[in-house]
Amino acid sequence: MQNWTIKELLNWTTDYFGNKNIKEARLEAEVLLAKVLEKNRIFLYANYDAPVNQEERGIFKEFIKRRSQHEPSAYITGSREFMSLEFMVNPAVLIPRPESELIVERAMELFSGQPCSICDVGTGSGALAVSLAHYLPQTKVYATDISPAALETAQANAVRLEAQVEFREGDLLAPFLDKDNYFDLIVANLPYVTAEEYQSLEPGVKDYEPALALLAPGDGLDIYRRFLAQAPLIMKEGAYIIIEIGCDQGRQALQMVQGMEEVQLIPDLAGYDRLIQARKGWKK
C-alpha cells in the first residue's frame, strides 16, 4: 500500500480539481486537507514530507468527492473566515463573502470608539452582526432573520466568538416596528439575485446555498424596497444605512434612496458596484 505524504496528496488533489474546473484548486486542496488533519495551512507547508495515515486519507477522499460535485468547501469543513474570525456555516446560511467585509469596515469608520445601536437585517450566519459586535465593542448590536435555522447558526457563532448580539426572528425589520427601537446604523445584505440570474449561477452556489438568501423578485431589488420603506421609521435622525447590492445594480439602487442625505455608491476592490451608504436627513 502506497504511503502518501502531505505534499503528494496536495499535488494529486490540485491536479484533480483543476481537471474538474474547480477554481483555486491548490487553495481548495489545502483547506480540505488542513481540516482533515485538524491543523492550519501553515502546518502543511512546514510538514510537506509528513505521512498521512489511512484513516485520514479516507476522510480526505470523501471530502474530495464532495468538492468535485461542487459542494462548497465551507460546507464540507463547516466553517469560513470573515473579518479574521472563523464562522460556523451550514446549508441553512449563505457562505460569507469577502466583499461583504466592506460593510463592517465602513461601519468601523463611522462609529469607531462611539457607543451606538446597530441592526443587521437578514443576518444569516451572523457574520456581519458578530463582526460588528467584536470590532465595535461599545455598540449594542441587534440582528434579524426570517429563517429559524439561520438564527440558530448565528446565535451559535455569537456564543462561540463571545459577541453580544440580540437576535430576533421575523421578516426584515418587522420585529422592531411595534417597539421604541431607534438605530444609529442599519446594515443589510439581503437577497438581490433575479430569477434569470439565479439560473446562471455556478453549481456550487445554485445547488447548495439557500435560495431564500439569494433570490429576490422583480429586478432583484424588491426586497430592499420593502426594507427601505421600514428603515426610516426606526432610524434616529442622522442615522446611516449600509446595504450590499449586485455588481450591476448601482443605478437602480441609488434611485431607491432618493431623499436621503450623503448618498454614496461604493465599489468593491474589483471596482464593481457593491454598497449603498446613505444618511437619514436631519429634521428641518
Whole-model pTM?
A: 0.92
Closest by CA position to 240, among listed 100, 60, 109, 131? 109
Architecture label for domain 90-279 = 3-Layer(aba) Sandwich (3.40)
Q: Three-class SS of residue 242?
A: strand
Q: How far apart are CA 138 and CA 278, in angstroms?
A: 22
Say what the pLDDT of residue 282 is. 54
Distance from C-alpha of 215 to C-alpha of 229, rounded to nearest angstrom:
20
State the pLDDT at residue 71.
Answer: 96
pLDDT for position 284? 37
pLDDT at 111 over 90: yes
> What is the per-residue pLDDT across 218-248, written as a single tens digit (0 to 9) for each?
999 999 999 999 999 999 999 999 999 999 9
Among 37-41, 74-78, 128-132, whose mean pLDDT is lowest?
A: 37-41
Mean of the per-residue pLDDT values of the chain:
94
Q: Give the CA radius of gyration of the chain.
A: 21
pLDDT single digits (tens) 72-92 = 999 999 999 999 999 999 999
Residue 162 has a pLDDT of 97
Query: Mean per-residue pLDDT for 14-19?
Result: 95
B/e letters for 99-130, b = 16+ CB within 10 Å, e = fewer, are bbbbbbbbbeebbeeeebbbbbbbbbbbbbbb
Among 60, 55, 28, 57, which residue's Cα sits nearest to residue 41? 28
**Are the CB atoms for 91 and 210 separated by under 8 Å?**
yes
**Domain residue extents for the chain:** 6-69, 90-279
User: Which element (helix H / strand E) includes 136?
Assistant: none
